[in-house]
Chain A
Amino acid sequence: MELTPKIKFLGMTFDVTVMIGTVVTAIIVLLIVFLLSRGRSMKPRGAQNVMEYVIEFIRGITNMMLEAKKAEKYLSFAITTFLFVLIANMLGVIVMVNSEVHGAIPSLGITEKALKTSHEISWFKSPTSDINVTVAMAFAIALYAHFSGLFKSPKRYFAHYFQPYALMFPLHLIDECAKPVTHAARLWANIFAGEVLILILREGIPYLTAVPMFLWIGFSVFVGCIQAYIFTVLAMVYISQKVADEH
Chain B
Amino acid sequence: MSLAVIAGGIMIAFGALAAGIGNGILFSRYLEGIARQPEAQGKLFGQAMITLGLVEALPIISIAFGILVLFGVI
Contacts and interface: CB of A to CB of B under 8 A. Distances in A.
Are A and B subunits of one complex? yes
Interface of A: 1, 117, 182, 185-186, 188-190, 192-193, 196, 223, 226-227, 229-230, 233
B64 A189 contact: yes
Nearest to A117: B72
Contacts of B65: 189
- The SS class assigned to the A binding surface is helix
List 7 A-B pairs, minimum CB-CB distance, nearest first. A189-B64, A186-B57, A189-B61, A226-B53, A1-B71, A230-B53, A189-B60
A93 to B, nearest CB: 16
A220 to B, nearest CB: 12
Interface string B16-37: 0000000000000000000000
Contacts of B72: 117
A237 B50 CA distance: 14
B64 A188 contact: yes
Interface string B41-74: 0000000011011101100110111010001110
Nearest to A194: B60
A190 B57 contact: yes
B52 A193 contact: no
Given A1-B73, A117-B71, A193-B67, A185 B50 contact: no
A233 B47 CA distance: 13
Given A189-B57, A192-B67, A193-B67, 12 more contacts: A117-B71, A182-B61, A185-B64, A189-B60, A189-B65, A190-B57, A196-B67, A223-B53, A226-B49, A226-B50, A230-B53, A230-B54
